Amino acid sequence: MTKYHAVRDRLLDRLDAMAAGEQLPPERDLAQSLGVSRMTLRRAIDELVVRGAVRRRHGAGVFALGPKLSQGLMASSFSEDMRTRGLRPGARTLTFEVGPVGARIGRRLKVSPSDDVVQITRLRLADDEPMAVEELHVPAALVPGLVAADLEDRSFYELLGERYGVSLARAVQTAEPTVVDAQEARDLDVPVHTPALQFERTSWGRAGEVIEFVRSVYRGDRYKIRTELTIPATTPAAEEDAR
């Protein structure tokens, strides 16, 4: 193991005991306590920045990010997901528009390109920390009277059920790696082209109608995808055939 790898592992041990947002000691003090040169320390910290374990703020220092939140491949709202982790969910409405949606989104929602669609961009928060930018598209006829303030710090799915009597029956979601653009970087408080996870989801109601199309960009330094796999039972004959 190279010296900087050993330093990296010692830093990871230290980070395990630190809270998200807690600052590492100054570089000079940290290098001295670890018994390494500042160049070796910087190299180890650079790798931790790339891995999403710490964030370097120029002129301020290096800060722990805490463990990544796992995104399971299952249907659940952001608010519900954060509450199960003991975090306080939040949402800030960035844009709210109602109007014709165009051909691409119209195909997703199974509506005419000239039909009115509510288009909402929200910043999703966990304990006031930016986690994701969410672009939500909903047929306007489904949510009459909806205004931007209705979605501040509130689950959209809870609002659908309580106000409009709409519940989701199924959804199809894709996930792929991406990088944040300039606007997303400002909203999420991360550098431009920071790695991220992009989710696109189409959801249907119980009558087969399309309820929503959502594109979400989650911070790659704070999220990972978790998949639970079930191993099918095999018979001795099948095992023999597999050999």
Residue pLDDT tens, the chain, 243 long? 467 678 888 888 888 788 777 889 988 888 898 888 888 888 888 878 776 678 888 788 888 876 655 555 455 567 776 677 667 888 899 999 999 988 888 989 999 988 999 999 999 988 888 989 999 999 999 999 999 999 888 889 889 999 999 989 999 988 888 888 889 999 998 888 888 888 899 999 999 999 999 999 988 877 766 666 667 766 555 555 555
Prediction pTM value: 0.66
AA letter at 212: E
Helices (H), the chain: 3-16, 27-34, 38-51, 78-84, 103-109, 156-164, 182-188, 236-242
